[in-house]
Homo-oligomer: A and B are copies of this chain.
């Protein structure tokens, strides 16, 4: 492979890192050089990610021994840890894709609001591009540092961006009601994820003030010249392991909007975005997006419906939180940063039924 991209992952024992690793191992132009985990150093990655048995012989190293002589270094470290690693690798010239929240917000003043602390290196924030190709494709192509978006943020922004950009909806009263699977909470067990408590529930674990609200408002606001946008994000843990379904309830700013207008708005906005599929069928059982249908894939399915009895629009989006909402989107950025077609290694259909 002449154009092999060499990659390493710091923090590969969690669900995000594991899924990123799975996708990189399947990528035709990537060679994974090393993966780290402090807790599991010296162990085979398959002891933590049993799905990769027979697929890889890799073993975890400690982060200090990661092979950073690579083309791309992925950080799947907890929020707060990435910023320290970035400092360390800044001089090395390696491209960095950070999957934590440490560099997603451009305005340092937003960190205390959403994360409860001052950003330790506000001067680094401007070096990072927000890694959502559908909104920042050209910037990502040129980027050296990418902050890969949050999973809830991805599903909300992709649902709303076209209608916000087109000025169709009241940006002061946007409601995003999300339904989310348990894998989004990470690999650490606690009382709330104990199967008898978590199975079959609907749990509003953070009805208001979820951290991803900051990213969403930042990105939507940027589409309308920085005008303030107010998003009310309420995620609900439901019986699901993988997947996010976001229902965006929008109030229309003018009368008379028709389906055809919305089709045009969405098609135009996403005309260069292969992973966006508009799903709005007249009949059948799969008329709108469903997270099942994008499981394991990098697709974001989007549908919409106008309310005939009130000036309201409902937009729905479905993603796999660990793929388009995490590892897959990071690879999509990597492809762009390395001059590849953004679909490379990611053009994978979902399963049916599943």
Contact B284 A353, beta carbon cutoff 8 Å:
no
In-complex Cβ contact of A25 among B50, B202, B318, B349 (8 A) = B349
In-complex Cβ contact of A187 among B173, B194, B213, B274 (8 A) = B194
Binds B, one of A3-11, A74-82, A95-103, A291-299: A291-299
Taken together as a complex, chains A and B put the C-alpha atoms of A52 and B183 apart, in Å, by 24
Query: What total of chain A residues lie within 8 Å of the partner, measured CB to CB?
Result: 97
Contact A247 B292, beta carbon cutoff 8 Å:
no
Minimum CB–CB distance for A65 against chain B, Å: 23
Contact B249 A351, beta carbon cutoff 8 Å:
no
Taken together as a complex, chains A and B put the C-alpha atoms of A167 and B93 apart, in Å, by 60
Contacts of A187 in B (CB 8 A): 194, 196, 353
Q: Does A354 contact B (CB under 8 A)?
A: yes
Contacts of A310 in B (CB 8 A): 230, 232
Contact B197 A285, beta carbon cutoff 8 Å:
yes
Contacts of A111 in B (CB 8 A): none
Minimum CB–CB distance for A274 against chain B, Å: 7
Contact A202 B349, beta carbon cutoff 8 Å:
no
Minimum CB–CB distance for A48 against chain B, Å: 8
Q: Does A325 contact B (CB under 8 A)?
A: no
Interface code A273-314, partner B: CB below 8 Å = 1, 0 otherwise? 010010101001111101111011001010101111110101
In-complex Cβ contact of A279 among B53, B177, B201, B307 (8 A) = B53
Interface code A154-193, partner B: CB below 8 Å = 1, 0 otherwise? 0000000000000000000101010101110101111111
Q: Does A139 contact B (CB under 8 A)?
A: no
Contacts of A349 in B (CB 8 A): 22, 25-26, 51-52, 55
Contact B236 A239, beta carbon cutoff 8 Å:
no
Contacts of A192 in B (CB 8 A): 285
Ordered by A's residue number, 5 sampled pairs between the chains whose C-beta atoms are within 8 Å are A51-B293, A177-B247, A200-B239, A204-B303, A322-B351
